[in-house]
Homo-oligomer: A and B are copies of this chain.
Amino acid sequence: MSPRPSIDHIRRPQILAAAAEVIVERGVAGTRIADVAERCGVSPPALLYWFDSKEQLLAEALTVDDDRFYEELEARVDGAAAPGERMVALIETATESADDFALWMELWTWALRDADLRAARERFDARWRAAIEAIVIDGVATGEFGAADPAQAALAIAALIDGLSAQAALGDPEVTNPRLTETVLASAERLLGAELPAGAGGRASP
């Protein structure tokens, strides 16, 4: 019917990507529609043609990338056969891009007062913990890991990564990126009662 193909699938992602960039730079609170519009090279009202309101746009921008992250993660992790190797791959993937964590922190803070964002975050975190737990269960099954409670170990590892990533994102001089990865790997070994293989990135050897 419509001879002109819709550009929905082009414009919306473009706007969301621009919004995510602006949020990282200025924070959700400091992001104005005009900033995002300028980055897209369009006028502010154009954004409101594609999104009902600023709030809706930012909420979507805050969550749109996460699914992609998990897909990439799973692709990388599944390549490794043994649970130990998969765990190392997962940790390295999660810790090597601590800068993106700023967006995650924004989501947290906003989720404190927005039920939809809260639900979205919870969904992502459940998926994340499930991915970890699956590896732990496998490792326990093969005897590679000695953890008694896979769910608790997964929770702990996930929280550890979050806590350290936040500090890295905040530029804490004690938590550089290598130190972050190293600390998570060493802690995971203790939490899992396992010795993990050296990762792709290499690890400080004794």
Residues of A within 8 A of B (CB): 26-30, 102, 105-106, 108-113, 118, 121-122, 125-126, 129, 149, 152, 155-156, 158-164, 166-167, 169-175, 182-183, 186-187, 190-191, 193
Decide yes or no: A105 and B109 within 8 Å by CB, A160-B156, A174-B126 being known contacts. yes
User: 10 extra interchain contacts, Cβ-Cβ under 8 A, other than A108-B166, A118-B170, A163-B163?
Assistant: A102-B112, A112-B169, A122-B170, A125-B172, A149-B186, A155-B183, A159-B162, A162-B163, A163-B164, A190-B191
A54–B113 Cα gap in the complex (Å)? 21
Give the number of copies in the complex. Answer: 4
User: Hey, which chain B residues are within 8 Å of A121, CB to CB?
Assistant: 170
Specify which of B149, B162, B170, B173 is in contact with A112 (CB 8 Å cutoff): B170
- Contacts of A113 on B, CB cut-off 8 Å? 26-27, 30
The residue that A164 contacts in the complex, of B30, B122, B155, B191, with Cβ under 8 A, is B155
Return chain B residues, CB-CB under 8 Å to A29. 28-29
In the bound complex, what is the Cα–Cα distance between A189 and B190 (angstroms)? 9
Chain B residues with CB below 8 A from A28, complex form = 29
Pair B162/A122 contact, Cβ less than 8 Å = no
Contact present for B172 and A122 (CB under 8 Å): yes
How far apart sit A164 and B154, CA to CA, in the bound complex (Å)? 12
Could you list some 17 contacts between A and B, CB below 8 A? A28-B29, A29-B29, A30-B113, A105-B109, A108-B109, A108-B166, A111-B170, A126-B174, A152-B183, A155-B175, A155-B183, A156-B160, A159-B159, A159-B167, A159-B183, A160-B163, A162-B166
- A27-B112, A109-B27 known; A156-B183 Cβ under 8 A: yes
A111, A155, A169, A175, most chain B CB atoms within 10 A = A155
Closest chain-B Cβ to A36's Cβ sits at a distance in Å of 17
Q: Among the listed B160, B173, B190, which residue makes an inter-chain contact with A159, where contact means beta carbons less than 8 Å apart?
A: B160
